[in-house]
Amino acid sequence: MAAYTLEALEGDIRRYCEVDSNVFTGAILGRFIENAENRILYDLPMDSDRQMATGTLVADNNTINVQAGALFVRAVEVFESTSVTTGVSHFLQKKDVTYLREYVSKLTGPEAGQSAQDVTGLPKYYAMFGGATGLTDSTSGGLLLAPTPDLAYNFRLYYNVQPTSLVTNTSGTYISRYFTSGLLYGCLTEAYGYLKGPMDMLTLYENKYKQEVQKFAGLQLGRRRRDDYTDGTVRIPVKSPSP
C-alpha cells in the first residue's frame, strides 16, 4: 500500500464508509486520525519516537526539565567532564521519588539538619515527576536527581516523544508511510463507531487493525532490536500441510 497523505487517507475513509464530505467533514476525520494515531502510539512503541538531547546540569539544583513533547524518559547519562564525547559517563538508575527521598534522608540523618538538596555530588539516581511536559521545556514536568549535582555536569537524555500527527504534517508521517494499513484500519474502527455500525464492519476492521499491529510489532520490537550476528536469524515456523 502506498504512503498516505492527509488528503489520500481522508478520501479512503470516505470511500470505505460510502459517505461524502457532508457526513465526514475534515474536522471529524481529523479527530478519527488523531485517535487512531494515539492508539497506535500506546499499542506499539516505535523507534521513530525515540529522541536524544544533551544539556548541562546546574550546580546545587536537583531538578531538570525534560524536552518539549517528551512522553517518558528511557535513560539519563551524566558525564564527569565538560565533554559528552570524551568524558567518562555514568547512566543513572531510575527510581521512584519516594526512593530518592529515603536515600537522601539516610545520607543526612535526622540530626544533620540538612535538606534533601544539601546532599551534593555526582548524581546516582533520577525519578520522573509532574505531568505532561506540554510544548515547551520550561514546564512542571521533569526529573528529580539525587544526590544534587555539585558541579555543572553535562548530561545526555534518552526519551520518547509524541509524534507529529498527519493532521499537522499533511504530506506524510512515519506511520502514514510505513504502517499505512494499520493507520487505515484504526481510522475505520473510529469511523464505524461514529456511524454506530454496522457492527460486523466495526468488528472486521477492529480485527484487521489488531492483526496489522502484531505484524508491525514483529518489525519494531523484533527485527529492529536484534541483529543476525549477536541474536541469530529470525526463524518463523511454517506448518506443512497435513498428508
Query: Which residues have a Cβ under 8 Å from the Cβ of 166 and sit 6 or more positions away?
Result: 4, 5, 6, 9, 33, 37, 172, 173, 175, 176, 183
Q: What per-residue confidence (pLDDT) applies to 197?
A: 81
Is the distance from CB of 173 to CB of 143 less than 8 angstroms? no
| pLDDT at residue 214, rounded to an integer | 87
Q: What is the pLDDT of residue 235?
A: 65
Average pLDDT by stretches of 10, the chain with 243 residues: 90 96 95 96 88 90 85 90 72 92 72 58 88 52 88 91 93 94 96 92 94 84 68 66 67
Q: For position 231, what pLDDT does the model report?
A: 66
Distance, in Å, from the CA atom of 165 to the CA atom of 169, rounded to the nearest integer, reads 6
pLDDT for position 209: 94
What value, to the nearest 5°, has the Cα angle with vertex 24 and ends 23 and 30? 160
For the chain, the farthest-separated pair of C-alpha atoms sits apart, in whole angstroms, at: 81
> Residue 7 has what pLDDT?
96
